[in-house]
Each structure stands twice: as C-alpha cells, then as structure tokens.
Amino acid sequence: MVSSSFAPDYWTFCALRFFIGVATGGVLIVSIVMVLEVVGPQHREVAGCGINLPDGLAEASLVSFVQFSPTWRIYLLSMGGASALIMVFLVLLPESPRWLMARGRLDEARVLMMKAAKCNDLDPCTTEETITTIISRETKEIKTTTYCDLFKTKRLFSRTVCSVLVWMIAGIGYFGITQYCTFLGTNVFVSVVIMGLMQIPAAFIATWLNKIYGRKATIISNLSTTGLTMFLLIFTAPDHWAALTLGIIGLWTVTITFNVLYVFVSELFPTTLRNMAYGVSSSGAKIGAMVAPFIANLSPHWVPSLIFSVLAFLGAVFVSLYRKLKGGRWKMK
C-alpha cells in the first residue's frame, strides 16, 4: 500500500493494487478462522458477528482519510501507514491451538492452552486433565489435507459447492447494493459513512438472531428480506427518499447474512479443512464483488434491483438445503 502511492505509471499502480487485494483477502479469511478457533462454542455467535465491528468502523473512517488528503498519493500513503499497524498486533497474537493440534504440534498446543487457562483463573489440575483428553482425541484425527478433500465425499462436495454459491450471492448483494445506493441521489461521502456505521448495529442484531433462531433461519430470513426490498425498489423512483431507505434495509440484511455465514462455515467443516473452506467460500464472495459493479451500473434503474432480488431469493433456496445437527452444527440433506 505504501509502494502504490509512489507508482510512476498506471500499470505499475494496477500491479501493486493486485498484490494488495491478494494480501488483504488472505488476512481477512485467516483472521476469521483464528477468532472462531480460540473461543469456546458458547461464544461463537458473539465472536463471529463481532468480527464485522472493526470492519464497519474502518469503512466509515475512509472518509476521514479522503478529507485530510490533498492528493490520491497522500491518501494511499496514509492508509498504508495505518495498515502497517497490523504488524504490531501480529506480534501479540498467539497461534490457534486447534490448528496446532490438527498439525500434530501437540506440545505447543498444550503450552498455549495452559497459558489461556492461567489467564482465565481456571483450576490447573482440572485444566490439565481436560487438555489431555482433548489432545488424545485430536491426535486420532491428525492427517494431511488438500483442497481436493473439500470435494472428496458427496457430503463435503455438496457443502463446499453450496457454501461457495451462497457466499457469491452475498458478495454480489453486499458490494452491488453498496454501489447501487450511491446512485440513488445521495452524497457519496455520506453514503460511505452510513454503509460503514450500519454494520455496527447489524453485528449486534446478527448475534441475537444467531443465538435465538439459529444459522439457517437467520440467513434465509435476511436473504429473503434483501430480495423483497430489492423487488420493491423496482417500483420506486431513484431520487425518492424511499429508494435510499429500501437500499439501506437491503444492505443491512445482507450484512447480517455475512455475519452469520462466518459462524456457519466454521461449523460445516472440520479443523483440518476450515482454512481451505473459508478460502474457497470467500473466493465466491470475491467473484461476486467483481460482478457486482457491472450489475449496479445497468440501466434502467429497475434492472439491477431485479437481479439483486432474484439472486437473494436464490441464495435463500441454497441455504434451505441445510438442516440442523445436534450441537448446533449443520449438514446437507
């Protein structure tokens, strides 16, 4: 990001931006997995939905960077400097104990879990017995995995394909509606702040819905609401206040969908496949993000609304293929 602010020509700039996209996409996916693997199942909904809180604040802060940057080079340089703070946090973060056990690094996992138990004032004797039981169970499941394992069985194949499709539709909805809302007669800077800040209450609502109604019902209801609001936009004038209201509601519900999907995917796949499952699923969202601007720019204005509506309802259909398992996990019918 720092280097891109000194790009001498357009193609150098594009090349550097490509590597920025690759790196930031990887950081986000691994961060989600790490957060969900270091908390207990009883805190999974809060942790999964809380991931979007800093993302919303960061998106809203983009306007501040623009406001105090006289040129695009200063803008990118200031953002690059802020992003460098990530390196500081990486020094303080521990490794995921689940990942260590999945890779056979059992002694490191034991030390890490003992430190966690000490920080939480847990009884050392009881903790040692619990850790020994966990490690003995996880040792039986240690194996080398590849991306091919995501499609190895019929059940895993169905989970992976369905997950990619749902994430793709959510990506088209989120990034497409975000851009589409900027065409509905409001100031682009105000829109960016609103879209960022609205993720904060969305995270709290997603946590509550996730705990009360579960993953499947929450995703289906929110995707259906997104589809309904986009359908109503077909009959609403672009410069009318109702158009922006419907757009914000649609974006809000698809944001809640993403919050729940973070937890959803973590429970669909075992530890050895979780990172790869997130990567493949997220690639669907990235494909959706690439397609979204082309849809949002279609004319007349009701065409993007119709496409977003149909896709949202289609995503709800894909999610309906899942049914609940004991313990809060999910699998395909």
Q: How far apart are the first and last CA of the chain?
A: 45
Q: 296 falls in which pLDDT band (50, 70, 90)?
A: confident
Tokens of residue 30, six digits? 């691994």
Contact status, residue 293 vs residue 137, Cβ threshold 8 Å: no
pLDDT digits (tens, 9 = 90+) for 231-284: 998 888 777 777 778 878 888 888 888 888 888 887 788 777 887 888 888 888
**Mean pLDDT computed over 79-104:** 80
* Cα–Cα distance measured from residue 53 to residue 205, given in angstroms and rounded to the nearest whole number: 12
Q: 326 falls in which pLDDT band (50, 70, 90)?
A: very low
Looking at the chain, the whole-number percentage of residues with pLDDT higher than 70 is 91
Q: 6 falls in which pLDDT band (50, 70, 90)?
A: very high
| Amino acid occupying residue 149 | D
More confident residue, 9 or 302: 9
Question: What is the CA 169 to chain-centroid distance, rounded?
Answer: 13
* Location of structure tokens 């004319």: 299
Q: How many CB atoms lie within 10 A of CB 162?
A: 18
Report which listed range, 29-38, 162-171, 240-249, is most confident. Answer: 162-171
pLDDT of residue 305: 87
* Cα–Cα distance measured from residue 264 to residue 164, given in angstroms and rounded to the nearest whole number: 12
More confident residue, 4 or 194: 4
pLDDT of residue 201: 84
Model confidence at 152: pLDDT above 90: no
Q: List 332's β-bridge partners, or say none.
A: 322
Model confidence at 142: pLDDT above 70: no
